[in-house]
Amino acid sequence: MPRRRRNKKVKRYHRSFYSRGMKIKKTLGILLLAAVVLGAAWLAAPYVLDWATHTWYTVVRDRDLSGSSSAAASAPSEAESAPASSAGSSSAVSRPASQAASPAASSQPEPVSGTAIREGSWATVSLSALGDAAAIRTQAQALAEQGVTYALIPFKDASGYIYYASAVPAASRSVAATVVDPALIASIFKEEGLVPVAGVAAFQDPVASYTDRSMAIQYAGEGGYLWLDAANAAAGGKAWLNPYAASANAFIGDLIEELYNCGFEQVCLSAVQFPPSASSSQDFGQTGGLGRDAQLAADIAAWDARFAGRVTLWYEYPLASCTGVSTALGALPAQLGVHNLVISLPAGETQDPAALAETAARMKELGAAWVVVRDSESGRFY
């Protein structure tokens, strides 16, 4: 019989195929992979959170975060750019964060240029109410409470006197005994939200005519005597500046420049005209063949060009000069190139509103862009 083979038993060894060194390498690899995964998660976490938050508010809560994010981002730059010396700016920087983020704070209107024309009522301010800073502030606040926009301050009147300390040479005899501070007035009025307007009477000036006689109308053939608008001084005759004289135009321009440097970006010129009466005894010197209307138009154009972009110039004329052609102008105001017109009403006379509106409309048809009709104290746009 064949011999039966015995099945050999296979021995099992409980020993890993990895050596000790390989185990260490495997462990280090796992740790490195875990570190990489954790690092990537750490870097991605803010973006994931932002995405989740944005999704929650825009999809679930139906809110738009883009507007508030841009507003928050711009807030620091606005605060940093605010001047430290400004009282208004310092209060804005120090206000609570909740107030800074409020809708009211973010909807503040843009500053309005001092030369910009804003519709609103006019008021004439008495110089006696502008003696010092406290009085100026009180007057400005009172006008603002009344809803006034334009405050007209007469710094030079038809008597020839100037009510501030002018340094223009031709004004050396014109400065009145009592003066006000135009720079202080302009500053405070602007702070109270008003538009300060400097009033200046132009060619009706019996004082500067004697200071610089080259600026004045002469008597024809009288050897340098100044022409008067009455028989003589005893009868109330007054000298006038000559609209044909370049020196007279420059004198008025220098006063405007001076007031502009004091903070007045709007000036109202009155008496931009010839004397009401025309006479053969009037000697205007070299006229270049220009008529009265053409010369006044040239004067107005010269001032407008000199102060373009810096000063808004208004020209005031009486109602009678706007309803018919007068000797003093030779044309209607709007035909002289007046863009910003103030029509002054005769004192104590009742006017028909419809007739005033018609006159204002006529001036606009002839080229005036803005028309204000005012009595001796107040005025309004038409």
What pLDDT score does 19 carry?
56
Note the pLDDT tens digit of each residue in 169-179.
999 999 999 99
Q: Between the CA of residue 339 and those of 34, 155, 297, 304, what are the distances in Å?
A: 80, 22, 12, 10
Tokens standing for 193? Answer: 């939200």
Place of tokens 């373009």: 308
Tokens standing for 67? Answer: 């507007």
What pLDDT score does 25 carry?
63
What DSSP string describes 95-107? Answer: S-HHHHTSHHHHT
What pLDDT score does 363 carry?
98
Closest CA to 115 of 363, 308, 315: 308
Quote the CA–CA distance of 248 and 272 in Å, as a whole number. Answer: 11
pTM: 0.71
What pLDDT score does 199 carry?
98
What are the residue ranges in the chain where pLDDT is below 50?
A: 1-2, 5-17, 42, 45, 48-49, 51-106, 109
Note the pLDDT tens digit of each residue in 273-315.
999 988 899 999 999 999 999 999 999 999 999 999 999 999 9
- Signed CA dihedral, 288, 321, 256, 224: sign only: positive
Helix (H, G, I), strand (E, B) or coil at 144: helix
Tokens standing for 5? Answer: 């083979």
Quote the CA–CA distance of 224 and 334 in Å, as a whole number. Answer: 34
Please say whether the beta carbons of 259 and 200 come within 8 A: yes
Place of tokens 């502030």: 137
**What single letter denotes the amino acid at residue 295?**
Q
Place of tokens 């014109």: 174
Closest CA to 196 of 260, 131, 272: 260
What pLDDT score does 27 carry?
64
Q: Count of CB atoms within 10 A of residue 261's CB?
A: 10
Closest CA to 208 of 233, 167, 175: 175
Helix (H, G, I), strand (E, B) or coil at 102: coil
Closest CA to 163 of 177, 152, 183, 184: 177
